[in-house]
Chains A and B, each alone.
Chain A
Amino acid sequence: MVAGTAAPEVGTFEFAGDAEIMLEGTPLALQVTSALVPGRTLFLTIHILGFTSFAYIVARRLVPLLRAQRDLRFDRPLARLANVLKFWLGQWKHPRYKTAGILHILIFAGFILLAIRAFSVLIVGVSENFVMPSLSGSADHVYQIVTDYAATVVFICMIFAILRRLAFKPVRYTVPARYGKAHTADAIFLLSLIAVLMMADSLFEAARTANQLHLSESNELRAVLSLPWLLQVGFASLSVPTLGRLYFAAYLIHEVTFYFLLCYRPFGIQFHVETSLFTVFFAKLDRGTLKPVKWGVPDEHLEQVKSFGVKTFEDFTWKHMLDFYSCADCGRCSDNCPANSVGRPLSPRFITIKARDYAFQHYRMFGNSGYGKPLIGTIYSEDEIWSCTTCGACEEECPLLVEYIDKIVDLRRGMVDDGNVPQSLQKPLKALESRGNPYGKMEKKRAEWAKVKEFQPTCKVKILDGKNGADTLYFVDSITSYDDRMQAIARATAKILDHGGANFGILGTVEKDSGHEVRRFGEETLFIALRDHNAEAIRASGVERIVTADPHAFNALKHDYRDVPPVEHISQFIARDVRAGRIEFKPIKDGVVYTYHDPCYLGRHNQIYDDPRDVLDAIPGMKRVEMKRCRDRSFCCGGGGLMLFYESKEEMRIGVKRVQMAAEAGADVIVTACPFCMVNIEDAIKVAGLEGKMTAIDLTELVEQQIVFEVPAESEAALQGV
C-alpha cells in the first residue's frame, strides 16, 4: 500500500525543480536538503501509517494485560527509579556475560544517543529546517560528532553480533528440539535491519555534508573515521543531483526501516526495546518474598477466592505478561538454571518464550480472543513446573529482571488447587497437615535431638513452654529436628548459642514446619495454617529475636511471616561473635582444603555471602578456595524441603554436578550452612564416587569443632600474672 501510493511521487521527482525558492541565500536547486521536498506527502504518509500501525499493535498487545490479574507495582517510586538507573540505563547485569554484555552496552548506548538524531531525521522529511530545540550551534556540532561515532559503533556491533550468531553460535542460544525451531534467522533479520538503519542514517548525513562541502558553504566534516565520514569522503566527487538522490533514498530507507522495525519488534524478541524500561521500573523490589495468591486480597479473605494460582494465561498478572513480552531470548536464565543443566524438563527461558508464543497466537492483531485453555498439559508440563528448585539463579542473571519464581509458584498453586500433585509429594503434604512435619514423625519427638546422652549434660536447651523464658528463640525446623544426621547441626547450633552467651530456648513439640517449601510448592492454605500456628507460638514465648541454622526457615521467618521478632541466621550470630573477639578457634592442622557452598536461601535470596566466609577465614590455618560458581552465581545443591521428595526426570543429580565443581576447585571439604544442602551434597559425594576423598560439614559443626570452649587452667593462671 505504502509503495503503491509512493510510486508516482518518486517517479515525478525532479531534483532541479523549483529554482525560485531560495534557502539562506543559496538556490534551492543546490541544496540537497530540498531534495526531500517532493517526497513530503510520501514521507508524511509513511509517518502516519507507521505510527498508527505501531499504536494499534501496542494497543492489541495490551489486551491480555488488561484481562490479567492485579499486581500492585506502583509503590516506592524512588526505589523503582533507582532500579531503572542501575539496571536499565546502567545495564548493570550485562557484563556478567563479557562479550554479549559489552556488545549490548555499546548498542544500548548507541540507541540512547541516536534517539534524538533519529527523531530529528524523521521530522526533517516533513520540515526540512527542523532542528531539535536544544540542539543548535555548538551543542549540535558536538552531538553530530558523538552520534556519528554512535551509529558507527552500533553498525559494527551488528556485524559482529551477526557473525557471532552465524560463526560462534553460543550454546545458550540453541533451541532444543522439544521447544521448536531455532530463533537464529529472526535474530539475524532483526540485527540486519538495525545495521540497515545505521547505514541509512550515515548515508543521509554523509550526503548532506558532501553537498555542503561542494558548496563550500561549510567546512564542517563528519566525525573522523566514522561511517558517515567514510561515506562522505567517498561522495566527494559526486554531483549535486546525485547527492540529492542519495539523500532522498537514504531518507526513505531510514524511514521505512525505522517504522518497519517499530512495528515488527512487538512480534518477536526485540520488543524489549520498547518494554524494558517498564519491566525494569515495575520489577519486583523485595528478594526472598513471594507474591500473594491475589494482590489486594488479605489472607483472611482467601477463602472467598474461587480459584488459586495460574491455570490459564489470563491468571498471570499484567506484570508477568509484560515479562513475557520483554524477554530478549538471551538464554542467560537457562544457562544458569541447575534443573536445566542436569536435563530436567525445565528451561526458564522457554517458560517465557512459550507463554509469549501463546500470547501472540491467542491474542492476534484482528478479531476477538476468548479466554484460554489450561496451560498445564498444553504449553507447560507438570514435571516442568515441579522441576524448579526456586534457587533464583535465573532471576539473578536476567538483565531485564524478569521474574520466574513467582510464576512457577503461581502455576503450582493452580495445580494444587486442581488436585494435580505428584503422588510422591502428597504423603509429605498430608503429614505436614496432620503432624506438622513432612516425615509423619510424632510431634512429641521433635525435641529429642537435645536429649542425647553425650550432649544433654554439656548444653541445656530450654523448652519455651510458658514455664521457661528466654530472649532468643532457636527455631530448629523439621529436618534438623528429626533427621538423625541433621540433628548434629541442631546440637552444634545450641552449643554455639550457649557459648555466645545467648539466653535461648526452643519451642519443642509446639514447633511445626516453617512451611517455607509448602508455600513454594503452591500449598498456600497449608502454609498459612503452619505459619499462623508458629507465629502465635513464637509471640507467646515472649522472645525478642529468633536464630535459625536453616536458611529456608530463615527466609520464611524473615519474609513470609509477619509480626514475629527479627530473625538471624546462625552464621550472622557467629560472625558477630568472631568480629567482637568473643570466639577463640583452635587452629586447623590437617592441611585439607575447604570450600564454601552458598545455600540459595542464605546467599542469593538474602545476600548473606560474607558472614560465613568471614567465620571460616577467622579459623587459624584455614585453607579455603572458591568454586567457580560462588556467591550470587552459586549452584543449587538440588533443592530443599519438599524437593527432597520429588523425583524428577534428570540425567544426573544436581548435587553431583555441584560436588564435581568442588572437586574441580581442589577442595577436600565442602562447608555449607543449610541442612538440605547437607543432605544433597553428602548423597552426591557418594553418587559421584568421591567418598573417602571428599566430605561435607555444616558451618556450625565446623565452628563447634574448632571453638575453644573453656580457657585452659594453665593459661588462666598465666593471665592472672603469677
Chain B
Amino acid sequence: MEILVCARRVPDTSENEIQLNRAGNDIERDDLVYSINEADNYAVEEALQIIARVGGSVTVVTVGTEDDEEILRREMAMGASHGVLLSDDAFYGSDGRGIATILKAFVQRGKYDMILTGVQAEDGGTQVGGMLAAMLDYPFASLVNSIEVHDSKKLKVSREIAGGNKEVSEIDLPCVLSIQTGINEPRYVGMRGIRQVASAPIPTHAASALGIDPATVGETGAKVKRVDYFVPVLGKGAEMLQGSREENIDKLIELVAAKGGLK
C-alpha cells in the first residue's frame, strides 16, 4: 500500500498567543512557534499503522518553503519513508483550490493507492481534500475515524455522524480520505528522532518540474482572497452559580440538559 499524506505547517495554537498584526489582515507572525497541523499528524500515524499491517510505504508532502521542512522531518522521524516539499515562489498566496492543484500535479507523477489529508487545517478550511479528489477523479470520504483495508482494491472506512452514530462505507482505491483527529494515538517524536533524520534528503519540486502553469496557482490564480481577520469580541463571561453545593449541582444539571448535553 503506497500512501501519500498531505500535511501542513501551522502556528501551534497551544503555544502561541495569537494577536492581529497592525494592518488587521493577518496574525502577528514574529515570535510564533509552528508545528504540524494536528489532524495531519493523525493522518500520518494512521498511514504508518496501515503499512505496519499490510506493508508499503508512507510519503508526506507539503506545499511551502524551506521552513516547512521541519514538519516533514518530524513525520519522517515518526516513520514516514519519504518527505517531499513542493516549493515555488509562484505557489505563494494560493487558495484552497491552488493547493489542491499543486498537490494534484504531484500525485499524478507518482502512484499512490491512498491519499490522506487531515480533516482540516488549524489555520484554514477543510477544502483541499475534497477538491483534490475531484481534480483527480478519485472517490473521497471525509471525517474518517477508522480505516480497514479489505483487499488491494477496497477499504472499509467509517465516520461519526451527527448524534454520535457511526456510518461505515466501502470505498474503491485509489481514493482520498480526510482523517478525523482521535482516529488513533499518534506516537511521540522527540528531538532524538528528528536528529536521526536530520540529514535525510528531502526532494523539492518547483512549479516547472510539476508541470504547473504558474498562473493557475498562487496569488494570481486565487479566486478566494482573505479580506479581513479579526478576533471576535468576547461574549458575556462565565456564569457563576451561587448557592449551596446541592443547589449548584441541580442548577448545573438543568443548564447542561437545556443545552442538550444530557438526555
Hey, which bits of chain A sit against chain B, CB under 8 A?
303, 308, 416-421, 423, 425-427, 429-431, 433-435, 440-442, 444, 523-526, 529
In contact, A419 and B188 (Cβ under 8 angstroms): yes
Query: Which residues does chain A contribute within 8 Å of B31, judged by CB atoms?
Result: 442, 444
Complex A-B, nearest 10 residue pairs according to Cβ-Cβ distance, in ascending order: A419-B187, A440-B15, A421-B188, A525-B192, A434-B33, A525-B191, A419-B188, A440-B14, A431-B15, A426-B188
B219 sits at the interface (CB 8 A): no
- Among the listed B12, B15, B78, B191, which residue makes an inter-chain contact with A419, where contact means beta carbons less than 8 Å apart? B78
- How far apart are A130's CB and chain B's nearest CB, in angstroms? 63
The complex places the Cα of A433 from the Cα of B33 at a distance, in Å, of 10
Contact with A along B17-35 (1 / 0, CB 8 A): 1000000000000010101
Complex interface residues of chain B between 162 and 219 (CB less than 8 A to chain A): 185-193, 195-196
Query: Which residues does chain A contribute within 8 Å of B196, judged by CB atoms?
Result: 303
What would be 20 A-B contacts, judged by CB atoms less than 8 Å apart? A308-B192, A416-B188, A416-B190, A419-B187, A420-B187, A423-B185, A426-B188, A427-B14, A429-B188, A430-B12, A431-B15, A434-B15, A434-B33, A434-B35, A435-B33, A440-B16, A523-B190, A525-B192, A525-B195, A526-B191
Closest partner residue, chain A, to B192 (CB atom): A525
Query: Which residues does chain A contribute within 8 Å of B35, judged by CB atoms?
Result: 430, 434
Closest partner residue, chain B, to A445 (CB atom): B17
- How far apart are B235's CB and chain A's nearest CB, in angstroms? 23
Closest partner residue, chain A, to B185 (CB atom): A423
With known contacts A429-B190, A430-B35, A431-B15, A303–B195 Cβ distance under 8 A: yes
- How far apart are A660's CB and chain B's nearest CB, in angstroms? 20
Closest partner residue, chain A, to B41 (CB atom): A426
Query: Which residues does chain A contribute within 8 Å of B33, judged by CB atoms?
Result: 434-435, 440
In contact, A440 and B190 (Cβ under 8 angstroms): no
Residue among B16, B185, B188 with the most chain A CB within 10 A?
Answer: B188
- How far apart are A101's CB and chain B's nearest CB, in angstroms? 43
In contact, B12 and A434 (Cβ under 8 angstroms): yes
In contact, A431 and B14 (Cβ under 8 angstroms): yes
Hey, which bits of chain B sit against chain A, CB under 8 A?
12, 14-17, 31, 33, 35, 78, 185-193, 195-196
In contact, A419 and B193 (Cβ under 8 angstroms): yes
In contact, A442 and B17 (Cβ under 8 angstroms): yes
The complex places the Cα of A372 from the Cα of B55 at a distance, in Å, of 25
- How far apart are B143's CB and chain A's nearest CB, in angstroms? 20
In contact, B188 and A433 (Cβ under 8 angstroms): no
| A interface majority secondary structure | helix
In contact, B12 and A440 (Cβ under 8 angstroms): yes
The complex places the Cα of A442 from the Cα of B31 at a distance, in Å, of 8
- How far apart are A689's CB and chain B's nearest CB, in angstroms? 9
Query: Which residues does chain B contribute within 8 Å of A308, judged by CB atoms?
Result: 192
Query: Which residues does chain A contribute within 8 Å of B17, judged by CB atoms?
Result: 442
Query: Which residues does chain A contribute within 8 Å of B193, judged by CB atoms?
Result: 419
The complex places the Cα of A417 from the Cα of B188 at a distance, in Å, of 8
Closest partner residue, chain B, to A417 (CB atom): B192
Query: Which residues does chain B contribute within 8 Å of A426, judged by CB atoms?
Result: 186, 188
Closest partner residue, chain A, to B78 (CB atom): A419
Can you add 16 more A-B contacts, CB < 8 Å, to A421-B188, A433-B190?
A303-B195, A303-B196, A417-B190, A417-B192, A418-B187, A430-B15, A431-B14, A433-B191, A435-B33, A440-B14, A444-B31, A523-B190, A525-B190, A525-B191, A525-B195, A529-B191
In contact, A526 and B15 (Cβ under 8 angstroms): no
Residue among B16, B33, B190, B195 with the most chain A CB within 10 A?
Answer: B190
Query: Which residues does chain B contribute within 8 Å of A440, judged by CB atoms?
Result: 12, 14-16, 33
- How far apart are A409's CB and chain B's nearest CB, in angstroms? 15
Closest partner residue, chain A, to B14 (CB atom): A440
The complex places the Cα of A430 from the Cα of B35 at a distance, in Å, of 9
Query: Which residues does chain A contribute within 8 Å of B189, judged by CB atoms?
Result: 419
Query: Which residues does chain B contribute within 8 Å of A433, judged by CB atoms?
Result: 190-191
The complex places the Cα of A126 from the Cα of B190 at a distance, in Å, of 66
- How far apart are B187's CB and chain A's nearest CB, in angstroms? 3
Query: Which residues does chain B contribute within 8 Å of A417, judged by CB atoms?
Result: 190, 192
The complex places the Cα of A440 from the Cα of B14 at a distance, in Å, of 6
In contact, A526 and B12 (Cβ under 8 angstroms): no
With known contacts A430-B35, A431-B15, A526–B188 Cβ distance under 8 A: no
The complex places the Cα of A440 from the Cα of B13 at a distance, in Å, of 9
Closest partner residue, chain B, to A442 (CB atom): B17
Closest partner residue, chain A, to B195 (CB atom): A303
- How far apart are A622's CB and chain B's nearest CB, in angstroms? 34
Closest partner residue, chain A, to B187 (CB atom): A419
Closest partner residue, chain A, to B193 (CB atom): A419
- How far apart are A645's CB and chain B's nearest CB, in angstroms? 12
The complex places the Cα of A628 from the Cα of B33 at a distance, in Å, of 48
Closest partner residue, chain A, to B198 (CB atom): A303
Closest partner residue, chain A, to B45 (CB atom): A419
Query: Which residues does chain A contribute within 8 Å of B191, judged by CB atoms?
Result: 433, 525-526, 529
The complex places the Cα of A429 from the Cα of B186 at a distance, in Å, of 14
Closest partner residue, chain B, to A303 (CB atom): B195
Closest partner residue, chain A, to B35 (CB atom): A430
Query: Which residues does chain B contribute within 8 Å of A442, judged by CB atoms?
Result: 16-17, 31
The complex places the Cα of A440 from the Cα of B188 at a distance, in Å, of 17
The complex places the Cα of A427 from the Cα of B196 at a distance, in Å, of 21
The complex places the Cα of A525 from the Cα of B196 at a distance, in Å, of 12
Query: Which residues does chain B contribute within 8 Å of A525, judged by CB atoms?
Result: 190-192, 195
With known contacts A430-B35, A434-B33, A526–B195 Cβ distance under 8 A: no
Closest partner residue, chain A, to B13 (CB atom): A440
Query: Which residues does chain B contribute within 8 Å of A523, judged by CB atoms?
Result: 190
Closest partner residue, chain B, to A527 (CB atom): B191
- How far apart are B65's CB and chain A's nearest CB, in angstroms? 19
Closest partner residue, chain B, to A443 (CB atom): B31
The complex places the Cα of A288 from the Cα of B14 at a distance, in Å, of 33
- How far apart are B73's CB and chain A's nearest CB, in angstroms? 13
The complex places the Cα of A667 from the Cα of B17 at a distance, in Å, of 42
The complex places the Cα of A416 from the Cα of B191 at a distance, in Å, of 11
The complex places the Cα of A433 from the Cα of B12 at a distance, in Å, of 13
The complex places the Cα of A231 from the Cα of B71 at a distance, in Å, of 83
Query: Which residues does chain A contribute within 8 Å of B190, judged by CB atoms?
Result: 416-417, 429, 433, 523, 525-526
The complex places the Cα of A472 from the Cα of B65 at a distance, in Å, of 45
- How far apart are A621's CB and chain B's nearest CB, in angstroms? 35
- How far apart are A383's CB and chain B's nearest CB, in angstroms? 13
The complex places the Cα of A425 from the Cα of B189 at a distance, in Å, of 12
